[in-house]
Every structure is written in C-alpha cells, then in structure tokens.
Chains A and B, each alone.
Chain A
Amino acid sequence: MSIVFKDASFRYANSKKWAVKSLSFRIEPGEKVLISGPSGSGKSTICRMINGLIPHFYEGEFKGVVEINGLDTRNVRVARLSRDVGLVFQNPENQLVALSVEREISFGLENLGIKREEILRRIDWVLRLFNIERLRKRLIHELSGGEKQLVILAAIVAMKPKILVLDEPTAELDPANSIRLVNMINELSFKLGLTVVIVEQRVDLIAPIVDRVLVLEEGEIIAYGRPWEVYSIDKVYNSGSAIPKLVELYYELQRVGVNIDRPALTVEEFLEVLRFK
C-alpha cells in the first residue's frame, strides 16, 4: 500500500497561511517513516490528508493529489479509506467511545459491517497480538493512560488497515509506556507488513527504528531520506525540528574537529565508529 503525494497543498478555511505547500513524496509499502518538524509545520495536516479527513472532514482549499494505493483521496470517503488507513491521535481519552475494552475493539468492526463471528475472532486475535488479554473485560475509565493508548491501537489494528498513521502517540505517556508503545508499533510493522507513518517529538526513541525521515518547515519539505542522511543536513539541524541527542553530539564533535562519517542514532552505532584502542 503506497502513499503518494503529488504537489499537494492545503489551506484551512479561515486561515491565510497554507498549512502545507506543494508536497511531493512517496512512501513505499512496508516502509516506516518519521515526520518531523516544529509545531505548526504541517505534520498533523499530512496525517489527516492520508486518511481523508482532509479534504472531507475539514473545510478549506485543497490542491494537488494524494493517492493511497492508487485511490485519489478526493474521490473516496473517509469511511472507505479507513479500511486501509488507521489513524491514531495524540489524546487517548478523546478517541475512546465504548464502556469496555472488548466493545471498543468491536466498534470499528461493527461500523465496517463485519459479521459477528469474524468480529469475535478479530478481538481474540488482537488481544493476543498485543498481549492484553487480561484487559478484555475491563472498563475503559479504569485503564491507565498507557493502557488506553494500547487499546486504541489494538482497536485500529483489528480493522486490519495496511497503513498505520500515528500523530504524536506518546505525547501524553510516560517513558516506560512510550517505549512499550513504540516497540509494539515496530513489532506490528514486521509481523503484519504495515506501512507506518509516525509524527513524533521523541525522536531519540523513533529515529533508530524508521526507514526514512521527512522533515517539514512552514508546510514545506526540507529533507526526506534515510535518518543519518537527513540529520547530516545543516538546514535540518537549524530548523527547530526535534533532533536526536546523539546527532547533536555528532555536530559538536565536528565543531571541535572530530569528523565522523555520519551521525549515529544509537549508542551501539556510536561505538562502531569510536572504538577502543
């Protein structure tokens, strides 16, 4: 399931500024891409353009084309696109509608008109996949923030989308739960062959696991490529986009005269460059 943006732009109604301008890029099936950039750079807008909320839910001016596996999003309703694209938002509280975990998971499936037996099968499957069988009968308001976000992700994965878009999913979570969620996303992308698009500020966590990084500034793409390529670009470093700590170190080392080939994203990678004598 590929995602293709062809010269796509969007301006929200009542806004003079274009939220995103002339975006052209491709995400191949099975790829994991991090979308990075300061607040207001258009990251959330892109997420909504992938699942059709833009242009169908938000009013404004839409130019260019966004194609999800060949389907033009302007001609397909959000409900239809949600079969292929799952979107996880930042605040778990404002995504949960049911009273219990089981029913939350069945919600999307019922909306899709899936038969009862299949619904029950998928609930079993997803609870096992996420290792949250113990939460099956729990009431939503009893769950912790981390558990809520996992349940939402499970509810969306149960709909079997091919593309998973996550808009700052760990923003409200503490470090332990963030790691758990990110590991889950990584595992899912391998097990299920999902294309993953993730917007995140916690780049230290995410940059090591993605295939490519897309950097935005003021609604325009300023870099798109492998993480170490992108983070070697000065413009990215100065853009206000979140930068992994080890990349900051890479720049500092360059300044004091130590030239490393390319920035390392994990401690292990760093140790490959800097060896003990």
Chain B
Amino acid sequence: MIEVESVYYDYNGHRALIDVSVSFKTGNIYVLMGENGAGKSTLLKHLNGILKPKSGRVLVEGVDTREATVAELCRKVGLVFQNPELQFFCETVFKEVAFGPENLGLDSATVKSRVENALRVVGLTGFEERVPWSLSGGEMRRLALASILSMEPKYLALDEPTVGQDRFSKENLKALIWRFKGMGKCVIIATHDIEWVYDLKPDEIILMSHGRIVAQGPPWEILNDNELLKRCNLVKPILLTLCDSLKLPLKSSTPSVTELAQKIRKRIGEEFVLSRGF
C-alpha cells in the first residue's frame, strides 16, 4: 500500500499540493482526475520520490520517501511519463527496455527475460532490433510502458496515457490496465479523458482541483455528481448525461453502451416512444 499523508508541496510560490491524503492499495485501479494544473502529475511524482513533500509524508509499503532514494523506490513504483520521446536514448528497443533492470543491478540473463516479458505484454515482440525513434506514436508509448514494466514494479503510475491516442490504442490500453490489475498490481492513472475513464470502470476516482483532493469514491458516485464535476471544470460523460435526460435509474452503476441499450429497450413502449425522423 502507498499512503499519502497530509502532503503539502509548493514551488516558486505556487502551491501545487495542499493537504493531500490518499491510499493506494494493490489490486486496484485508481484514476486521478482534474484539469491541467490541478496537481495530478505533482502527486504522481511524489509516489516514487522524484518530489519529496515539504510537509506531510508518503509511505511506500512503510518506507518514508524522504528517507529513500528514487533509485530504491523505483523498484516498487514505476512512473510512466506523458511524453515518451523525452526518455529514449538507445539504438535499439531491446537496450531501451533493458536500461531500467540494468540500473537495478540484475544479471544479464534476468534482464533478457524481463525485457522479453515486457515487450510481450505491450505487444512489441519482434521489435527488439528496431530504432526507438523509428516507431509510430502509439508504438513509442508502448515502448515507454515496457521500459518501466521491465523493472516489474508493484505500483504503476501513468501520467496522461491517452493523449493523442486513437480509438484502438485507447482500447488496448484499457485492456492492459485490467490485465495489470489481474496480476495484482496497483495502477494509478492521471488523466482528464473522462470518456475513457468512464469505459475503464476504475475502482476509485480521485478528483483534484487547485492542489486539493475535492472528492474520492467509486465512479458512479463521482461521475454522477454534477456540482462536483462543474467545480473541477470537467464535463459529465455523455452517456450519463443521456441517462439524466431520459430519467433512467442508475442504481450505483455506470452503464456501458451495451447495458444502456438494454435498459432503453426494456422501456420502449412503456416510458418511451420511438418517433420517426428528425
């Protein structure tokens, strides 16, 4: 478990995190939501020690991040940044993914198997000898993810992983995140892509605004709260807006497209009438 306790952080007079407290448990998917500048990335950087709190503390499985180095913490907490181009420096994909485990001091046989594993998980097997910059945008993102996965962290933090991604890439990412949850990992995603989050069905959504945690809870609670979303400058997922307008009872759920279609079908004739043409 990672415990964030009353963390305060500022830089250049700008208050980035104010009294932030939250826990992240393994086997769960957490989503940090909020507009740009709300503090999502800053919070993620506190999880592996890149940033240390000015007051308060962060405990990674009992270890205070202020007393550990990033090199120690990154064995447990993997952080995948938004821009994959800002970390590639090797001639081959293999070497790029091997960089992390090599820094951990593992022997070459272990490194090799970890690299192969990581590439398989993200679907880049066969790309070992390719040059990182020759890959497409989506492939580069997967490579960046693989380079952190090869360190086999228990906690995986992803900073805005869906930016500029097309439909298939986003769906694949969702499936991958659920796979990580199945493996017992803890996945923490910072994003403002509310429609994708809606489909993802995370265990918990944490809403941030101006450096504070404004709310946290299961998706149906957070995404249905119009006041809350407005305060954080977020737009309600379109399917929920439709449910509102159709006055469909939700019973603590965020229905998928399929589920919603069935709900509507059941009510045709009783509550709704199909009208022709518009």
B239 surroundings in chain A (CB, below 8 A): 245, 249
- Among the listed B137, B167, B235, B271, which residue makes an inter-chain contact with A179, where contact means beta carbons less than 8 Å apart? B235
> Per-residue CB proximity of A227-253 to B under 8 Å, as 1/0?
000000000000011110110110011
Residue of A nearest to B191 (CB): A174
A256 close to B265 (CB less than 8 A): yes
- Among the listed B194, B265, B276, which residue makes an inter-chain contact with A258, where contact means beta carbons less than 8 Å apart? B265
Known: A248-B257, A258-B264. A267 touches B242 (CB 8 A): yes
Stretch in B89-97, B101-109, B158-166 touching the partner: B158-166
B275 close to A270 (CB less than 8 A): no
Give Cα distance in the complex from A178 to B261, angstroms.
29
B245 close to A39 (CB less than 8 A): no
Q: Is B11 an interface residue (CB 8 A)?
A: no
A255 surroundings in chain B (CB, below 8 A): 261
B36 close to A144 (CB less than 8 A): yes
Q: Is A261 an interface residue (CB 8 A)?
A: yes
B37 surroundings in chain A (CB, below 8 A): 144
B275 surroundings in chain A (CB, below 8 A): 272-275
Q: Is B27 an interface residue (CB 8 A)?
A: no
Q: Is B84 an interface residue (CB 8 A)?
A: no
Give Cα distance in the complex from A272 to B275, angstroms.
7
Q: Is A187 an interface residue (CB 8 A)?
A: no
- Among the listed A40, A146, A242, A257, which residue makes an inter-chain contact with B265, where contact means beta carbons less than 8 Å apart? A257
Q: Which of A137-172 contact B (CB under 8 A)?
A: 144-146, 168, 171-172
Give Cα distance in the complex from A248 to B36, angstroms.
29
Q: Is A204 an interface residue (CB 8 A)?
A: yes
A175 close to B233 (CB less than 8 A): yes
Q: Is B138 an interface residue (CB 8 A)?
A: yes
Give Cα distance in the complex from A208 to B169, angstroms.
24
Give Cα distance in the complex from A258 to B268, angstroms.
8
B169 surroundings in chain A (CB, below 8 A): 39
> Per-residue CB proximity of A259-271 to B under 8 Å, as 1/0?
1110010010111
Q: Is B249 an interface residue (CB 8 A)?
A: no
Q: Which of A178-236 contact B (CB under 8 A)?
A: 179, 201, 204
A273 close to B274 (CB less than 8 A): yes
Q: Is B86 an interface residue (CB 8 A)?
A: no
Give Cα distance in the complex from A176 to B257, angstroms.
24
A40 surroundings in chain B (CB, below 8 A): 136
> Per-residue CB proximity of A3-22 to B under 8 Å, as 1/0?
00000000000000000000
The residue in B137, B234, B261, B273 that gathers the most chain A C-beta atoms within 10 A of its C-beta is B261
Give Cα distance in the complex from A256 to B277, angstroms.
20
User: Nearest-CB distance from B195 to chain A (Å)?
Assistant: 6
User: Nearest-CB distance from A69 to chain B (Å)?
Assistant: 31
Q: Which of B131-152 contact A (CB under 8 A)?
A: 136-138
Give Cα distance in the complex from A261 to B246, angstroms.
19
Q: Is A2 an interface residue (CB 8 A)?
A: no
Q: Is A177 an interface residue (CB 8 A)?
A: yes
A240 close to B258 (CB less than 8 A): no
A249 close to B260 (CB less than 8 A): yes
Q: Is A60 an interface residue (CB 8 A)?
A: no
User: Nearest-CB distance from B86 to chain A (Å)?
Assistant: 13
B233 surroundings in chain A (CB, below 8 A): 174-176
B166 close to A39 (CB less than 8 A): yes
B261 close to A175 (CB less than 8 A): no
> Per-residue CB proximity of B242-278 to A under 8 Å, as 1/0?
1001100000000001101110110010111111111
B268 surroundings in chain A (CB, below 8 A): 258
Q: Is A57 an interface residue (CB 8 A)?
A: no
User: Nearest-CB distance from B262 to chain A (Å)?
Assistant: 6
User: Nearest-CB distance from B21 to chain A (Å)?
Assistant: 24
14 contacts between A and B (CB under 8 A): A39-B138, A146-B36, A171-B164, A175-B194, A175-B233, A175-B235, A201-B167, A242-B167, A243-B167, A246-B242, A249-B257, A252-B257, A258-B268, A264-B278
- Taking A173-B36, A253-B261 as known contacts, 13 extra A-B pairs with beta carbons closer than 8 A to each other, sorted by chain A number, are A245-B239, A246-B238, A249-B260, A253-B264, A256-B265, A258-B274, A259-B274, A270-B242, A272-B275, A274-B264, A275-B273, A275-B274, A276-B272
A residues in contact (CB < 8 Å) with B: 38-40, 90, 144-146, 168, 171-177, 179, 201, 204, 240-243, 245-246, 248-249, 252-253, 255-261, 264, 267, 269-277
